[in-house]
Amino acid sequence: MEGYLVVLITVPVDRGEELADFIVENKLGACVNLVPEVRSTYWWKGKVERDREALLVVKTSAGKFRELKEKVKEVHPYTVPEIIALPIVAGNEDYLKWIEESLE
C-alpha cells in the first residue's frame, strides 16, 4: 500500500457540498468530511480579510494528490485555493485499505 493523506480545502460556504460530491464522484478522495463553517483570517492583496468558509477534510492516497489538486483547481472559485496535504502517519489498517479500494 502507498501512503495516505488528509487534504484540507477551504471553499465558500455555499459550495462545500458541491465540491465534496465532485471529489468523491471522481474518485479523487475516498471520503470528504464537510465542516460547514469556519472563520478564516488571512492576508490578501495587502490587507487583512475575514471570511466564513466551509472546510473539506479529504482522505485520499498520496498517489491521487496531484490529480485531486489539479481537478479541484479547475472547478474551485478562488484564484488561489487552499489545498494542503498532511500525511497520515498511522491509522486503522482496515480504514486505510478502504481508502485504497475506494479510489480504484
Q: Per residue in 1-32, pLDDT tens?
A: 479 999 999 999 999 999 999 999 999 999 99
Note the residue count of the chain.
104
How far is 43 from 71, CA to CA, in rounded Å?
Answer: 25
Q: Under CATH, which number does the domain 4-102 receive?
A: 3.30.70.120
* pLDDT interval class at 103 (50, 70, 90): very high
The reported pLDDT for the residue numbered 38 is: 97
Q: Per residue in 37-83, pLDDT tens?
A: 999 999 999 999 999 999 999 999 999 999 999 999 999 999 999 99
Q: Residue 99: what residue type?
A: I
Provide φ and ψ at 52, rounded to 5°.
-90, 130
Domain boundaries, the chain: 4-102
The reported pLDDT for the residue numbered 1 is: 46
pTM for the whole structure? 0.94
Closest C-alpha to 9, from 89, 70, 62, 93: 70
